[in-house]
Amino acid sequence: MLGTLTRYLRFMGYDTRSANELKPGNSREDTELLELAEREDRILLTRDAELARRGEKRAVLVKGRDVMAQVDQLTGLGLVKPRLRLTRCSICNSELQDATPREIEGADYAPWDRNGLHFYWGPHCGKLYWNGSHGRGLLERIVRGELPREERVLK
């Protein structure tokens, strides 16, 4: 699975779909992924060599183990640009919207000191985002192609 890469691509502003969206235990999963890629004009990213072979030009075999190696590979292939856009929710893939004061107040994890912060909202899942230190750190990792050692392990 490429869940971490999916989230990073969403942070980078790319509209992504995940195999996790399919029903578990589906014996036609590979075929459905290939059909979805064709129908929605998408590139299928996979760690499965056979699936990548079947997908031909519509599939990419992702070789790296850590997310920055994966982003580097996609950048080298000309599929992505290493930039942080924060236009999509990393959870539900919806386009982020400006958050209302009510939405901000409803998120118990929102910072208390909100001066100078801009808040965004994932309208389908309710996830709240803001332009804080986490976003700046993520931007640096994506642009430089670096992750701290403890974040290099894919779960």
Q: How high is the pLDDT of residue 152?
A: 36
59, β-bridge pairs: 44
Q: How high is the pLDDT of residue 74?
A: 96
Residue with tokens 């997310």: 67
- Please list the ranges in the chain whose pLDDT falls under 70: 145-155
Q: How high is the pLDDT of residue 131?
A: 82
Q: How high is the pLDDT of residue 113?
A: 86
Q: How high is the pLDDT of residue 53?
A: 97
86-100 tens-digit pLDDT:
899 999 999 999 999
Query: Is 121 within 8 Å of 127 (Cβ atoms)?
Result: yes
Q: Which residues contact 5 (CB under 8 A, 6 or more apart)?
A: 45, 62, 67, 70, 71
Token pair recorded at residue 90: 């990393």
Q: How high is the pLDDT of residue 36?
A: 93
Token pair recorded at residue 119: 């808040």
Q: How high is the pLDDT of residue 153?
A: 34
Q: How high is the pLDDT of residue 155?
A: 27
88, β-bridge pairs: 95
